[in-house]
Amino acid sequence: MNHRPLAFSCSVVLPKPSSIDKGADADRLRDALEKLGMRHVHMSLDIMQRLPRVLREHDFSADLVIGCTEEGYEVLEVGGTGGVHGVALDIGTTTIECALYDLRDKRQIDVQDIPNPQSVYGADVLARVQLAMAGRHDELVRVLRAGIDHLVRAVCDRNFIDTRSVYALTVSGNTIMSHFFLGLDTTNIPLVPNIPAAGDPVFCAAADLGVSVNPKATVYVFPNAGSYVGGDIISGMIALEMLKQDAPVLFMDVGTNVEITLGCSEWIMVGAGAAGPALEGGIAGIGRKAGPGTISRVSMDHQTSRMNLTVISGGEPVGICGSGLIDLVSELYRTGIIDRAGKFNVSEKGVVVKDGVPAYLVYGSPEKELVITEHELQNFLRSKAAMFAFLYVFLRSVGMKTGDVDRVYVSGALGCGINVDSAVNIGMLPDIDRKRIVPMGNTSLKGASMVLTDSGLRDDVRRIRSLITYREMSEDADLLNVLQGALFIPHTDPRMLKY
């Protein structure tokens, strides 16, 4: 397997022309690269125009930047090369995150994120597709690309890196986000029979997408396996090395939607459905993405009801992230401040009334109050119920239970450092050996980073995509019954949590 990055530097020394060796300069270069294991090398016209001068100025040696393509390789730069950098992108519905790499030593330099600028058009992808169908497709494409361009330039500027030295980008996202980025028609994705415009991986140049890096930079967009199994899920399977799993593992990616993958090196099944409001920002007014100032851990003394908050980077909290919210609900239930239905016991310490609605004071100071209302708790329970119900019904539909899987990997809003005990205590995750539940963080970005630094993993991407079988979760007749029971903490039938 070729383990080179998606773009890499390369130095060559060519045999000099002579009366008995009159091969053209471009042919001479291709022959030298083929000896280094690079076949099907393409050179653009401007590279061929510059090549004769560069070779003769450097005694027929040259420093190159090579990019991987769908069919082989392309010479991206000849002579005078400096750094070779790459960017991995995860285009989430709510947040866009990127990782900047030095591709010479495959070293991660920085990670940065921004809110998805399309969010002003609707919190979920279907709302945005409806606007696109109403004639605003080009506007949505333009706004998304501008946000991505801003993010890439910002992370380069922060690290004093010339954006022209960025020669490769890998991009993962759900099917609709990837389509918007590529400017592809999204009209038919939400309409039965739910047909995307493209499914295969897409290779193109950065100049085609309006990203202010080297115009020739190789862009690799992960493939999808249908409307609801996007490149982010396939990228996640790369991150957890699905093709190296001998025993079946379970992979949950949780955001606005929940996608559940079950499989191993020989077979893969995926189910998907709406999870309700996103765990960070969509459920509670104080919800925030994990970052400085957000509450990431919550514990409570049962006797005094004193709450201990862990705030990322310290200082006064500005909100609470998904892991903190799960801890909070678990502790409120454990101490009797809320009942099984998520209703507040108004006589308990910390319970207040805000605008006529029972709420809990998570943090208070003369300058700031952070509260979560009973209505927001109900939103949370709907999301946690959808997650567990999809997991339970999906496993049962294939004749399996959680005891039959080797590991449960969790990513997305649920995968960023959660307290597994808290998630199990409220019935969000199955009640199994805690060591078998593995939070994975942002697997979409991790998988994109892995392909960026090891282009040979594109073969694994193709293999994974060919193995996927998709199951429509909303069509299962038992889903509603399981969902109703899961609306309570931990469940109306706790035996189901151990199934």
CATH number, domain containing residue 267 = 3.30.420
User: Same domain for 368 and 386?
Assistant: no
pLDDT tier, 197 (very low <50, low <70, confident <90, very high otherwise) = very high
Q: Evaluate whether 157 touches 107 at the Cβ level (below 8 Å).
A: no
User: Same domain for 127 and 190?
Assistant: yes
Average pLDDT over residues 157-177: 97
Place of tokens 């609306």: 487
Establish if 284 belongs to a structural domain.
no
Establish if 201 belongs to a structural domain.
yes
Establish if 226 belongs to a structural domain.
no
According to DSSP H, which parts of 398-442 are helical? Answer: 420-425
Q: Evaluate whether 220 touches 234 at the Cβ level (below 8 Å).
A: no
Which pLDDT belongs to residue 471? 79
Q: Give burial (CB, 10 Å; 0-12/13-18/19+) of 305.
A: middle
Higher pLDDT, 82 or 242: 242
pLDDT tier, 495 (very low <50, low <70, confident <90, very high otherwise) = confident
Which pLDDT belongs to residue 279? 56
Higher pLDDT, 259 or 205: 205
User: Same domain for 54 and 89?
Assistant: no
Average pLDDT over residues 331-352: 92
Q: Which percentage of the chain shows pLDDT scores above 70? A: 95
Average pLDDT over residues 313-334: 91
Which pLDDT belongs to residue 124? 83
pLDDT tier, 414 (very low <50, low <70, confident <90, very high otherwise) = low
Which pLDDT belongs to residue 9? 95
Distance CA 422, CA 26 (A): 62
User: Same domain for 99 and 206?
Assistant: yes
Distance CA 389, CA 429 (A): 10
Which pLDDT belongs to residue 496? 86
The answer to whether residue 280 scores a pLDDT higher than 70 is no
pLDDT tier, 244 (very low <50, low <70, confident <90, very high otherwise) = very high
Distance CA 488, CA 341 (A): 5
User: Residue 95 maps to which CATH number?
Assistant: 3.30.420.480
b (16+ CB within 10 A) / e for 95-124: bbbbbbbbbeebeebeebbeebbbbebebb
User: Residue 73 maps to which CATH number?
Assistant: 3.10.20.880
For 246-260, how does the pLDDT look when each residue is reduced to its tens digit (9 = 90+)? Answer: 999 999 887 667 788
pLDDT, the chain, mean: 90
Higher pLDDT, 275 or 233: 233
Interior angle at CA 109, CA 106 and CA 113, nearest 5: 120
Which pLDDT belongs to residue 46? 94
Which pLDDT belongs to residue 441? 85
Which pLDDT belongs to residue 17? 92
Place of tokens 């100032």: 293
Establish if 283 belongs to a structural domain.
no
Establish if 346 belongs to a structural domain.
yes
pLDDT tier, 276 (very low <50, low <70, confident <90, very high otherwise) = low
Cα-only R_g, the chain: 25
User: Same domain for 267 and 390?
Assistant: yes
The answer to whether residue 203 scores a pLDDT higher than 80 is yes
For 62-83, how does the pLDDT look when each residue is reduced to its tens digit (9 = 90+)? Answer: 999 999 999 999 999 998 768 9
Distance CA 333, CA 328 (A): 9
From 373, 396, 413, give the residue that closes a domain. 373
Sign of CA pseudo-dihedral 496, 256, 420, 395: positive
Establish if 1 belongs to a structural domain.
no
User: Same domain for 257 and 271?
Assistant: yes
Domain extent, residue 326, equals: 294-373
Q: Evaluate whether 158 touches 87 at the Cβ level (below 8 Å).
A: no
User: Same domain for 267 and 410?
Assistant: yes
The answer to whether residue 281 scores a pLDDT higher than 60 is no
User: Same domain for 169 and 121?
Assistant: yes
pLDDT tier, 355 (very low <50, low <70, confident <90, very high otherwise) = confident
Which pLDDT belongs to residue 111? 96
User: Same domain for 124 and 190?
Assistant: yes
User: Same domain for 115 and 206?
Assistant: yes
Distance CA 282, CA 383 (A): 10
From 29, 47, 78, give the residue that closes a domain. 78
Which pLDDT belongs to residue 403? 83
User: Same domain for 74 and 90?
Assistant: no
For 450-475, how does the pLDDT look when each residue is reduced to its tens digit (9 = 90+)? Answer: 999 999 999 999 999 999 998 776 66
Q: Which helix (H) or strand (E) holds 353?
A: strand 351-354
The answer to whether residue 312 scores a pLDDT higher than 80 is yes
User: Same domain for 155 and 302?
Assistant: no
From 52, 78, 104, give the residue that closes a domain. 78
Establish if 154 belongs to a structural domain.
yes
Establish if 471 belongs to a structural domain.
yes
Average pLDDT over residues 173-200: 94
For 85-95, how does the pLDDT look when each residue is reduced to its tens digit (9 = 90+)? Answer: 999 999 998 88
Pairing of strands 319-320, 307-311: unpaired
Structural domain tally of the chain?
A: 4
